[in-house]
Structure 1
Amino acid sequence: MQNGEKSFNLNDVKSKAVLQLIKQLINEVTTITETFPLEKGQTTENLVQNVDSSILRFLKEADSAVENCPVARNNPRAVEKLRRALEDVRDTGQIMSKNGREFIRHSTSSPKRSNAVEAGRQLLNAVARFLIIADDIDVDVIVEKVDKIREIIKDLEQAESKTEVEELYQILVSQIEELDVTVRRRAIDLVKQNQQDDLLAARNALKSIAPILYTTTKTYVRHPEQIEAKTNRDFSMNEMHTALDAMENVLRGKLDTNIKFSEYGKIGDLINEIDLFQNRIEIEPSKYRDDKHRPELEELAERIVSGSASIADSESTRESRKQKIVAECNNLRQALQELLSEYEKSRGRNDNTDDVSLGIAQVHRKTKDLRRHLRRAIVDHISDAFLDTRTPLLLLIEAAKSGDAENTAHKSHMFQQHAEKIVHVARLSCRLSSDTEGVSVILHTAAQLANLAPRVSNAAFLLCSRPDSKTAQENMEAHKSLWFEKVRLLTTALDNITTLDDFLAVSEAHIVEDCNEGIQGVTAHAENIDQNIENCVRVDCAAGAIRGRALRVCDVVDSEMDFLQPSEYTENVKQAVRILREKRVTEFAARAGNLVDRQQATGLDWNSQDRDNEMNEFINACTLVHDAVKEIRHALLMNRSMHDVDSDNEYEEEGPEKAEKIQDEMENQQKLMRRLPEEDKKKIQAQIDIFKVTQTRFEREVAKWDETGNDIIVLANHMCKIMMNMTDFTRGCGPLKTTMDVIRSAQEISLAGSKLNALARQIGEESADSRSKNDLMAYLSEMTLYCQQLNICSKVKADVTQVGNELVVSALDSAMSLIQTARNLLTAVVQTVKAAYIASTKYRRPNAHSVRVEWRMAPPKKQPLVRPQKNAAIIRRASERRPLPPAKALAEFTCS
Structure 2
Amino acid sequence: METLDSVDPASLEIKTRSIEQILLPLVKQISTLVSHRERQLCSDRSLLAVARVGQAVNLAVERFVTVGETIADDNPEIKQTMYEACKEARVAGGTIEKLCECAVDDSLADRSSVVRAARCLLGSVTRVLLLADIVVVKQLLLAKDKVARSLGRLESVSNFTEFVKAFSQFGAEMVELAHLTGDRQNDLKDERRRAQMAAARQVLERSTMMLLTSSKACLRHPECLSTKENRDTVFCQMRRAMDLIHYVVKDGVLDCSESQSYASSQSPQQDWDSSTVCSALKQFERLVETTRITLLVPECRDSLTSALDTVVERTQDFTDSAYTSHEHRENILLLCDRAKLELNTLLRIVNSMQTFDKDACSPNSEMEQAVLSVLRGTRDLRQQLATTTMEQAGDLSQITKGGQELVSTIRNLALNSELDRLQENCDRFHEYIEHILEVCKLLRHIALSESLQVSAKFTEINLRIYGPQVVTAAYTLARYPSSKIAKENLEVFADMWQWLMSDVTTVAKDVLELIQSRPEKQVYMSLPRPGKHGTTSKPLKPVRLDSEEQAKIAKAGLEMKLITSEMDAETEKWQESGSALEENNDIVKRAKNMSSMAFSMYQFTRGEGALKTTQDLFTQAEYFAEEANRLYKVVRQFSYQVPGGSQKKELLENLDRIPTYVQQLQFTVKNPTVGKAATFSKVDNVIQETKNLMNVISKVVTTCFECATKYNLDFRGLSAHGSGSGYRGGENAGDGDGTGVGADGIKSGSAPGSDPSV
* Structure 2 runs not aligned, ≥5 long: 3-8, 259-267, 357-364, 517-525, 540-675, 688-758
Equivalent in the alignment of 1:317 = 324
Q: Computing the radius of gyration over CA atoms, which structure comes out larger, 1 or 2?
A: 1
- What does residue 457 of structure 1 align with? 471
Asked if the contact 1:103/1:116 (under 8 Å) is kept, the reply is no
Q: How does 1:264-663 map to 2 (within 5 A)?
A: 264=274, 266=276, 268=278, 272=282, 311-312=318-319, 314-322=321-329, 374-384=385-395, 387-389=398-400, 390-498=404-512, 563=530
Q: Alpha-carbon deviation of 1:489?
A: 0.7
What is the rounded CA distance, in whole Å, between the counterparts of 2:252 and 2:331 in structure 1? 48
Report the CA distance between 1:444 and its aligned residue.
1.9
Q: Note if contact 1:199-1:247 (Cα within 8 Å) is conserved in structure 2.
A: yes
SS state at 2:485 partner: helix
Which secondary structure does the structure 2 equivalent of 1:437 belong to? helix
1:208 aligns with 2:206: yes
Partner residue of 1:526? none
Partner of 2:103 in structure 1? Answer: 104
CA contact (8 A) 1:85 1:130 kept: no
Q: CA deviation at 1:446?
A: 0.4
Question: Shift in Å at residue 173 of structure 1?
Answer: 3.2
Letter in 2 for 1:158: S
Q: Which residue of 2 aligns with 1:223?
A: 221
Greater displacement, 315-324 / 386-395: 315-324
Which residue of structure 2 aligns with residue 11 of structure 1? 12
Change (3 A) 1:21 1:366: closer
**In structure 2, what residue type is equivalent to 1:196?**
R
User: 2:470·2:490 contact (CA, 8 Å) conserved in 1?
Assistant: yes
Partner-residue secondary structure (3-state), 2:454: helix
Which residue pairs with 1:683 in the alignment?
A: none
Contact 2:211–2:234 (8 Å) recurs in 1 = yes
Task: Summarize the alignment of residues 863-878 of structure 1 with structure 2, pairs less than 5 Å apart.
Answer: none
Shift of 1:32: 5.4
Render the CA deviation track for 1:43-74: whole Å, top value 9, x for unaligned: 4454344233333244346657988x9x98xx
Cross-structure match for 2:39:
37
CA distance in 2, matches of 1:9, 1:356: 37
> Residues 751-782 of structure 1, C-alpha deviation per residue, up to 9 Å, x if partnerless?
xxxxxxxxxxxxxxxxxxxxxxxxxxxxxxxx
Question: Secondary structure of 2:244's partner?
Answer: helix
What amino acid is aligned across from residue 489 of structure 2 in structure 1? Answer: N
TM-score (norm 1): 0.46
**1:54 matched to which residue of 2?**
57
Cα deviation for residue 419 of structure 1 reads 1.5
**Superposed, which structure 2 residues align to 1:817-836 within 5 Å?**
none
Structure 2 matches for 1:735-814, cutoff 5 A? none
Question: 1:610 maps to which residue?
Answer: none
Contact 1:338/1:359, CA 8 A, preserved across alignment:
yes
**Does the C-alpha gap of structure 1 residues 275 and 25 become closer, same or farther in structure 2, counting only changes over 3 Å?**
closer
The 1:144/1:19 distance shift into structure 2, 3 A limit, reads same
In 2: Cα distance, 1:83 partner to 1:435 partner: 38
Amino acid of the residue matched to residue 318 of structure 1? Answer: S
| 1:232-274 alpha-carbon deviations (Å, 9 max, x no partner) | 3223223323323432443455532777697357552675589
Instruction: State the Cα distance separating 1:301 from its structure 2 match.
Output: 8.5
Does structure 2 conserve the Cα–Cα contact (< 8 Å) formed by 1:316 and 1:381? yes
| Cα separation, partners in 2 of 1:329 and 1:569, compared to 1, 3 Å | farther
Cα separation, partners in 2 of 1:203 and 1:297, compared to 1, 3 Å: closer
The percentage of counterpart residues that share the same residue type is 19
How far apart are residue 115 of structure 1 and its match? 5.9
Report how far residue 462 of structure 1 moved: 1.7
Inter-CA distance 44–249: structure 2 relative to 1 (3 Å threshold): farther
- Alignment partner, residue 273 of structure 2: 263
Give the 3 Å change call, closer, same or farther, for CA 106–155 of structure 1 in structure 2: same
Separation in structure 1 between the aligned mates of residue 331 and residue 125 of structure 2, nearest angstrom: 65
Partner of 1:555: none
Q: CA deviation at 1:207?
A: 1.0
Evaluate the alpha carbon distance shift between residue 264 and residue 462 of structure 1 in structure 2; reply closer, same or farther with a 3 A threshold.
same
Give the whole-Å Cα distance in 2 for the aligned partners of 1:45 and 1:99.
13
Give the aligned partner of residue 233 of structure 2. Answer: 235
Which residue matches 1:859? none
* RMSD between superposed Cα atoms in Å: 5.6
**Alignment partners' CA distance in 1, 2:197 and 2:97:** 44
Matching residue of 1:153: 151
Q: CA deviation at 1:441?
A: 1.3
CA change 1:138–1:375 in 2 (3 A) is: closer
Q: Which runs of 5+ in 1 are unaligned?
A: 2-7, 349-353, 503-558, 571-863, 873-896
Distance in 2 (CA, whole Å) between partners of 1:13 and 1:334 is 43
Q: Following the alignment from structure 1 to structure 2, what is the Cα–Cα distance between the partners of residues 77 and 338?
A: 63
Q: Which residue does the alignment assign to 1:755?
A: none
1:655-677 deviation digits (Å, cap 9, x = unpaired):
xxxxxxxxxxxxxxxxxxxxxxx
Q: Which moved more, 1:482-491 or 1:196-205?
A: 196-205
Contact 1:216 1:475 in 2 (8 A): yes
The equivalent of 1:841 in structure 2 is none
Q: Number of aligned residue pairs: give it.
A: 504
2:101 pairs with 1:92: no
- Whether the 8 Å contact between 1:433 and 1:497 is mirrored in structure 2 is yes
Q: Distance in 2 between matches of 1:47 and 1:448?
A: 59
- The answer to whether the 8 Å contact 1:228/1:459 transfers is yes
- The alignment's TM-score, normalised by the length of structure 2, stands at 0.53
Superposition deviation, residue 79 in structure 1: 11
TM-superposed deviation, 1:485: 0.7
Say if 1:342 and 1:27 are closer, same or farther in 2 by CA, change over 3 A. Answer: closer
Aligned residue type for 1:225: E
